[in-house]
Chain A
Amino acid sequence: MRSRIATSAFAVAFLAATAVARAAGPTRVDVRADDVAFYPYSDATTVAAHGHVIVRAGAYVIAASVVQYDVGKARIIASGDVTVTHGTRITHGEVYRIDLETDTATIVRVEPTPASFTIPGDASAPEVERPLVDTDFKPLDLDGQRPYIRSRHALIAPGASVRMTPAEFPTSAGPALALPTYLYTLVQNQNLAQTAGPGASFDQPYNLFGSPNSLTAAHLRYESQNGVTLSVDNRLVDRNRAYVVTSLLPFRSRRADVLAYQQLRPGLQQTFTASHTFGLTHVDAASYRLQGTSRLSIATLTASSYATTNSLELALGTIPHDVGHYFSYQLRTGYAYDHALYSFPYANDFRTFVGGYATLPGATLLGTSLNARYDYQLTSYDFPHQTTSGTLTLSGGRVFSRGVNVYATASYLQSTSRYREGDVARRALGLPDPRFPLITPDGTPYLGYFAFAGASTYRTYQIQSTFAGKRGDDRLQLNLTHTRDFPQFDGYGRPPLTASIDITRRITPTIRLEIGRSYTFGWASRYLSPQYTFGISP
């Protein structure tokens, strides 16, 4: 309930602060014709209509054989037996252009004599004859260009969206994909791609409603755990200052999520997330983060709640510092309070943490770039418990040609989890007695300190080769990973050897296909463990 109230309050505050920018000109442009095609070019998004075209834009009704509407520039060019009705004025000509934002138009007539005229926006003002200049008419040459969508009716909300009804998506493969209607958003705001729900292997949005600062969409998703499912989400954006994303997955995952971000002033941001999982196992989670950044440091206050655990954490750190070209580092420390409702004897616990990383970048030897990095964190709890984690990563990369490169890493991670006043804590937590070896399920005995103190080592060796095609979009990537951990035995921990292949291929100008397959070797009595991944992107 608290998280819901907080969500509502944040959304209301956000909406109150959001100002909707309105451009001059009509708020709706309606285009009907025998054929209406949509070309979403980034620099000249265009609706082109052929055959018995009727355009309604504010007080203007334009009838012509051919029309191009440059949505970004709010400019309509009509050609072939053009008739324009504007209030009481009815104008005929061969070619007509109107700039909807400035409400000025130009018309070319060939009868009785070839001539061009400027028509003022005031329907009662007279036409003025004037010479044509090159910039008056700049239509796109769309010969041979495949439109993104074909239709018979387009409803354009300038600065917001284009709705095509019905909608056909031509493909180079032959048959077009048909939908009863499709909404294309014109808002070029990367925050409209925000997601609040869990990630998915495949996510195809289908926009339902849009405005200059919002988008509501249904999604067809494929989740590795839940399979094919549907979701609905809504995004509200305020330029680059704030956004609120709400997401509902009513089937399978059965959860609702909220994500909100606001930049209070440069260097100070707040972020709020909340999720509710309903069904047999309902879980509530929420977090709030306030972060301030100065020239040298970052301070973060985080409050979070997950099911029956709550935390409040204050973290202070330096920003990443580069010392010359050869060394960089970052330090971080903080203090936190954790509350876990049913976790006797440490239901209320405080912790202090300190950590950071250091890198040695930039060395190049025989054409190979080399890098070393060390990460470390120590966390000490009031309940007599201490964890450490240290990772050393060595890497090298070499580009053999524009299309071939190889990258290799070796990483060593050692973590410990030890208990001060060990015997009391060990018994309280039900950990094994260090005097007796730990026998793993496959019969391997672990003796001594490591068997109970929680020390573990993870070693990862990985080599990655990439072969890129001449077009750039086509790529083949091979990965080989070997792990050697402690503890690690057959069927427990990470597989010791994994090979994967990833192929990316542009199959049409608008569709890029990525297919991946991986194998693990000699693991848990299995020699092959294939996994498929795939993705489609423009």
Chain B
Amino acid sequence: MIARVCSIAACLLAIVASTGARAQSAATPLSIRGQALAIGHGYVIFTSGTTVRLRDGTHVPRGTTLGSSIRVRLDRATGDVVSIELDPKDTLDDDVDAARVPVADGMHGLRAGVATATADSAAPARAEAVVVTIAVTVPANTPPTDDVYVATDRSNFSPSEIRMQRTSSRRFTVSLSLPRDSKLRYQFTRGSYATVERNRSGGIAEPHVLAIGSGATVENVVERFADLN
């Protein structure tokens, strides 16, 4: 046990020494940000494999669990975790991405300590909502007075899930607030499944797939509706 702790501390101190150019005070704690895998048995383990020792009596915030975004502050002298912050909102100068910590000797394939990288990509970003506009051009034989709907995988393709806004005789749009980096599968209908879109030869059309990045307008074309020859 003593040898292991010394190994972690030695690794930490070596890396701290290598970052001396930053002229930090020895009293300033180091911090690591990342996703928690486990906290217990005297250790904090990150998803990257970074494993740091937890000082006895350190408070673990309520709600910290598998997958939580955390920041741990380390004692520079011992390398022990002295505090844990759940879901940190800000970025500190000392923050280091847990994935950038090098594999340490004596840690059997796990990581320990702090590298020189900053934490610009430390914690996975929480999915934020972006507004995406879905536009569609329908076939010329679409009845001029019919509404067009979007059926998505969010409702298991309920055929009248979201009514679109008509902007011209053959073009409809709808704007939706969707989580960034998610995917949306959708089809167009005229309100019932008997009027769902079909491919050009009349077969069942595969749903459109939208990978949600930044807000944008996505153009679609309906080749044919099931009930219109």
Contacts of A369 in B (CB 8 A): 167-169, 171
Is the interface on chain B under 10, 10 to 19, 20 to 34, or 35 or more residues?
35 or more
Interchain CB contact under 8 A, A405 and B133:
no
Contact with B along A305-343 (1 / 0, CB 8 A): 000000000010101101000001010100000000000
A142, CB-defined interface residue at 8 Å: yes
Contacts of B55 in A (CB 8 A): none
A94 interface neighbour in B41, B99, B167, B206, Cβ under 8 Å? B41
Contacts of A193 in B (CB 8 A): 151, 155-159, 193
- Contact stretch, chosen from A4-12, A417-425, A469-477: A469-477
Interchain CB contact under 8 A, A114 and B51:
yes
A277, CB-defined interface residue at 8 Å: no
A382, CB-defined interface residue at 8 Å: no
A79 interface neighbour in B38, B99, B166, B207, Cβ under 8 Å? B38
- Minimal beta-carbon separation of A257 from chain B (angstroms): 12
- Max chain A CB contacts within 10 Å: which of B63, B156, B175, B183? B156
Interchain CB contact under 8 A, A95 and B177:
no
Interchain CB contact under 8 A, B48 and A134:
yes
B229 interface neighbour in A41, A111, A137, A317, Cβ under 8 Å? A317
Contacts of A131 in B (CB 8 A): 49, 103, 109-110
- Minimal beta-carbon separation of B63 from chain A (angstroms): 7
Contact with B along A130-160 (1 / 0, CB 8 A): 1111101111111110000000000000000
Interchain CB contact under 8 A, A537 and B201:
no
Interchain CB contact under 8 A, A411 and B144:
yes
B67 interface neighbour in A68, A241, A373, A514, Cβ under 8 Å? A68
- Contact stretch, chosen from B14-22, B77-85, B184-192: B184-192
* A114-B187 contact, Cβ under 8 Å, with A68-B67, A291-B229, A409-B145: no
B116, CB-defined interface residue at 8 Å: no
B69 interface neighbour in A141, A192, A470, Cβ under 8 Å? A141
* A291-B202 contact, Cβ under 8 Å, with A188-B185, A320-B139: yes
- Max chain A CB contacts within 10 Å: which of B103, B177, B229? B229
A442, CB-defined interface residue at 8 Å: no
Interchain CB contact under 8 A, A142 and B51:
no
Can you list 22 pairs linking A and B with CB atoms under 8 Å apart?
A42-B184, A65-B40, A67-B66, A77-B37, A94-B37, A110-B45, A113-B106, A116-B49, A144-B87, A144-B126, A190-B157, A193-B151, A195-B159, A269-B202, A328-B140, A361-B140, A369-B168, A405-B167, A472-B131, A475-B165, A512-B162, A537-B155
Question: Given A141-B35, A411-B145, list of 11 further CB < 8 A pairs?
Answer: A42-B182, A80-B40, A94-B38, A94-B43, A110-B51, A143-B67, A144-B87, A241-B204, A472-B175, A477-B165, A537-B158
Closest 5 CB pairs of A and B: A472-B175, A115-B108, A132-B49, A131-B109, A139-B67
